[in-house]
Structure 1
Amino acid sequence: MKKLSAWLKENKITEVECVITDFTGIARGKIMPCNKFIDEKGIRLPESILIQSVTGDYVDDDVYDVLIDPAEIDMILKPDENAVFMVPFALEPTAMIIHDCYDKQGNPISMSPRNVLKKVLSLYEAKGWKPVIAPELEFYLTKRNADPDFPLEPPIGRSGRQESGRQSYSIDAANEYDPMFEDVYDWCEQQNLDIDTLIHEEGTAQMEINFRHGDALSLADQVFVFKRTVREAALKHNMTATFMAKPIGDEPGSSMHVHQSILDSKTGINIFSNEDGTQTESFLHFIGGQQKYIAACMPLFAPNVNSYRRFLPGTSAPVNVAWGIDNRTVSLRVPDSTPAARRVENRLAGADANPYLAFAATLLCGYLGMLERVAPGKPVQGSGYEESSAESLPLNLEAALECMENSDELKEILSPIFVQAYVEVKRAEYQNFKRVISSWERKYLQMTV
């Protein structure tokens, strides 16, 4: 705590946000004066907040009693000195500090998303491997909308007009929102978020931010902080930013592509490439593992009912477990790169995925592939959109949860309690969703059936 206390005093911090994430990726925790935080001998939170659904509800009582101690005991939160961020949009000097969750005996809480990622990274560390990732995150800017029954619309840009039509890679279209993005870049710099490229994506007022490659845990923290930062910047400029996978019916969905390579921890050399520049067996096995286990991890890549709207026929999202070189129509793309930068891009995850869980899932699939020496299928030449996915990928939340629930490998590595908790929370959310009557049902069934 000495290093952290010195940083807080040096930056004249008066308030501290002590934060963890739940399954959805919502920031939960406590806000306290800086002096109290420094003097505190351990911040505590009820373990039950980890299994709170996106609607604020909990699982049924019979399941709740299995997942949570009947005494409703507290977790012990410990700050990570490498996960400290300024909050540039706060009214007074404020720091957000990401914490890890432990029980009273000092054991990591298995339901914590950050602990899940740390557990997967420890498997790599034991093998002498170091994952390197680079996420690409898409999102939409929209007009403020106080009524969820109304569809979202593009915001008003600098020109005073709404964007119309698709503007892939348009510089002028992206510049319509320059005042907001100036704040985004300034705030990201203040928070040491390692963002790289801004792109106008295919959808109307759809943007993409690329992060520089680096450590998986650090980048999961950064994506988590970035989402909050963009939402705050949009609000400041009378807009909203949404990371829903499919926020607008006739527009493309938003993804979170994850580039992955693995280094030898001692030499720093990419284990996906031989000395002569050819691909290694480890590279092929990594792909094979992703093909074999992605279906079981699908709820971690596509966690919400809305996530699966991104995979409807005719969308630009690849709905398969195929791989190919420099091929954007497959879920597992191998960019055309130098041997030192050889990597696998998982294009399946949605922007709505919890970054800790999505990174853990994709790295776990690759790890199991290398461990089991799983041979991949043949790389796809040409369009992969015709690749059959019916037998390999669950394409709705119900089927995906059942697939995850039946995975012995996930239970063994990530723990049975995490798998059960995650599945039950997502089922509770799905039951809530099914209680809502949609406008489609009223439009087509009210006067006809």
Structure 2
Amino acid sequence: MSAYPTITVAEPFPASHTGHAENEALHVCQLRDIRSVECALSDLASVARGKIQTTAEFAEQRGTRLPSIIFGTTVVGGEPRSVYEDLIPCTYPDVALTPDWSTFAPDPLIAHRATVLCDVGGGFTTPKGVAVEAASLSPRSILKRVLKRLDERGLAALVAPELEFFLVAIPAARQGTSLPPAPSPFHLNVRESFIDIFSLERTSAFEPFFTTLFAACRAQRIPVTGFSHEAAASQYEVNFAPAAPLAQADAVFRFKRLARDVALRYGFAATFLAKPYVEGPGSGMHWHMSMQQRDSGRNVFSGADGAASAELLAFVAGMQRHALATTALIAPYQNSYMRFQKHEAAPAAASWGQDDRSVAFRIPVSNAANRRIENRLPGADANPYLLLASMIAAGLDGMDRRLEPTSSPDPLPLSLDAALEAFRHDDWTRALFGVPFVDTYDALKRHELAQREQASSGLEWDIANLLHHA
């Protein structure tokens, strides 16, 4: 690139019109000359699906409708026969998308457009005669259901992710029908030929990208706080301020879209593929979590004496107990398991420890008010709604059962097939997520896995299909 393109980023909506009620949102549309509105939601693979309407149509319908197959679609848009013949009727009945008005925000990169995240309603009957609520297949709705359990216990959580990704060259297509080659690290006009962890000189070369990206984040109230060069060439990490779990899952979901979109406008790709290179570290999505009494604000992970509480240890133990059964959610592709097989700073077992970055569940050094757990297992390719739902539900189960953490946990599965077996046949996951979700997720992931196994190179399949989607 000889010059950086000029990218205009929309300003945030006024603070007095943040979209917390539909009338306010529609008033903002008039004030800001919003001509179209995007209704969006996350599918099982964390791909954004939805519909763009004129503002007039949006105002009339207060949402939209989409075919139910949106929850039976693979990461690259495939519709496996096992899904629409057994789980979702081939008539593709509609489900309703209802806006969550608190998420109404400008599209930072498309003039005169707003976007809103939606919850899903309605339902259908499977070909086998089973009645299914559409919300039972929606990752966002599943997280909301788990958070209701938290609220019923008088608890609230604060979470903060650390999200890693690579900035790479866009692969050039080969002749014929073969897959594109794996990308090389791309450093605007210069390739990064060596690792330079935490280098400010390397980071400054991507300053236009991060400046634009962070401006786009401000427009959508995504609480990013900083970024740094990570432990591989062209790998970076972005940090988020603590926030409530649902808002934070929304933020990560939106951030990944924005990062990919901004990068493409600068002529390269931002990828959240967990392991784009066989050698070197992969990309994780580490989550810090603290737990408070909702009324008093007291951190329940700390005792009266300021030391770690029994609740903290029980929460860790719950995550350990259910790590095997939920690995398929935190590592959703076969590529994800390359982080565990060659695990530079990526744990291969549900271990725990104090201020130890080699374990899965780390207790960072902090004072009593800020004591928290860091979950280092998830990859950058995970669905944030599903991994937070599984993390919180597992921890609550540990607290309810007063479990104690173990120093010798079982190793994690080293393949997607093994992880799916554990996920599908575990009574706890089937009760938590529901049989329709477990069966649909299993069918989609096995279809993707079969496609990868048929390719001449697994990594080439990953690059071709997950570079812009993971």
Alignment TM-score > 0.5, same fold: yes
Q: Pairwise mapping of residues 49-128 of structure 1 onto structure 2 (< 5 A)?
A: 49-61=70-82, 63-69=83-89, 71-90=91-110, 92-103=111-122, 109-128=135-154
The C-alpha deviation readout for 1:258-317, integer Å capped at 9, x for no partner, is 111111111111111112201111111000001100110101100011111111235331
Shift of 1:65: 3.3
Q: Pairwise mapping of residues 164-179 of structure 1 onto structure 2 (< 5 A)?
A: 164-179=193-208
Task: Give the distance between the partners of 1:234 and 1:70, measured in 2 at CA.
Answer: 37
Q: Tell me which residue corresponds to 2:6.
A: none
Q: Tell me which residue corresponds to 2:35.
A: 14
Q: Which runs of 5+ in 2 are unaligned?
A: 1-21, 125-131, 174-178, 461-470
Q: Tell me which residue corresponds to 2:416.
A: 397
Select the residue among 222, 237, 255 that pairs with 1:208: 237
Q: Pairwise mapping of residues 178-197 of structure 1 onto structure 2 (< 5 A)?
A: 178-197=207-226
Select the residue among 30, 37, 53 that pairs with 2:58: 37
Q: What SS is found at the alignment partner of 2:135?
A: coil
Task: Give the distance between the partners of 2:265 and 2:298, measured in 1 at CA.
Answer: 44
Q: What SS is found at the alignment partner of 2:297?
A: coil
**Identity, % of aligned positions:** 35
Amino acid at match of 1:33: T
Select the residue among 364, 369, 390 that pairs with 1:361: 390
Return the TM-score normalized by structure 1: 0.91
Shift of 1:412: 1.1
Is 1:296 aligned to residue 325 of structure 2? yes
Is 1:144 aligned to residue 170 of structure 2? yes
Return the TM-score normalized by structure 2: 0.87
Q: Tell me which residue corresponds to 1:286.
A: 315
Shift of 1:25: 0.8
Contact 2:348/2:411, CA 8 A, preserved across alignment: no
Task: Give the distance between the partners of 1:392 and 1:371, measured in 2 at CA.
Answer: 24
Shift of 1:173: 0.9
Contact 2:167/2:187, CA 8 A, preserved across alignment: no
Q: Tell me which residue corresponds to 2:18.
A: none
Shift of 1:116: 1.0
Q: What SS is found at the alignment partner of 2:379?
A: coil
- Superposed CA RMSD in Å reads 1.9
Shift of 1:183: 0.6
Q: Pairwise mapping of residues 403-414 of structure 1 onto structure 2 (< 5 A)?
A: 403-414=422-433
Residues 227 and 314 of structure 1: is their aligned pair in 2 closer, same or farther, counting only changes over 3 Å?
closer
The C-alpha deviation readout for 1:165-214, integer Å capped at 9, x for no partner, is 11111111111111111111111112211001201100101000010011
Task: Give the distance between the partners of 1:67 and 1:313, measured in 2 at CA.
Answer: 36
Task: Give the distance between the partners of 2:328 and 2:157, measured in 1 at CA.
Answer: 22
Shift of 1:108: 5.7
Contact 2:68/2:134, CA 8 A, preserved across alignment: no
